[in-house]
Amino acid sequence: MTSGVERTSGLIRLRADLHTHAMGDGRFGANAADLVARHLEGALEAGLDIIGVTDHDDLRPGLLALEEVERRNLPLLVLAGMEVTTDDGHLVVLGLQEPLKRWRSMNETIALARERDEETLLIVPHPFFASLREQTGIDAIERLNHRYGDFDVTREDIAVIASSDAHTAADLAANPKRTLIEVTEISWPGVIDALRARRATIVPAHWGRGD
């Protein structure tokens, strides 16, 4: 992990973007490895410590990103997941080992993800509808989405975050906000604990970079 992370009160502060797309609007194909590699390089260039690779209804880019960051020993914590299309809107699911099927109800998708693994993190992205802004059974919700704007979400029961929803490596750096996560350890369990304890704050992209 990067040496520039900050510690306060025993907690480690990490800059995160939990909703990004390595394939963009395209499909997993022959150039997938190159796209994933460039995505990870873009994350480092953007000053991120944590990135969620959550392509549309496809877990393969996230799993490939895990392999790539380990192979190259990159100072980046990768969270593999997918943005699942449900009958009621989209759901970002992080921490998957096997893909989830699309076109089920939101509640059924949440239940299946929890049944698959209680340690998955569930995030409602770009909550366009009131029903999404009030969704239960999740761990976090986007207030700020760089592609779609400010959803002015106020929730006291779950973490409220900012994401780039990046579809290119350049989008990662263009996002003016980050989610600052305060973890007890730099690991997947550390991220789970922090988000569920709502130790997440929206900060400017330049936070902690000395500029």
Please write the tens of the pLDDT for every residue from 151-180. Answer: 999 999 999 999 999 999 999 999 999 999
pLDDT (tens digit per residue) in 182-192: 999 999 999 99
Query: Where are the chain's structural domains?
Result: 6-204
Nearest partner of 167 among 37, 70, 53, 78, judged by Cα: 53
- CA gap 88, 135 in Å, rounded: 10
Q: Is the pLDDT of residue 49 over 80?
A: yes
Q: Which pLDDT band holds residue 210 (cuts at 50, 70, 90)?
A: low
81 has a pLDDT exceeding 90: yes
* β-sheet bridge partners, residue 124: 141
Who wins on pLDDT, 6 or 144? 144
6-204 CATH? 3.20.20.140
Question: ∠ at Cα 204 (127, 25), nearest 5°?
Answer: 45
What letters, b where the CB count within 10 A reaches 16 and e where it falls short, cover 131-164?
ebbebeebbbbbbbbbeeeebebebeebbbbbbb
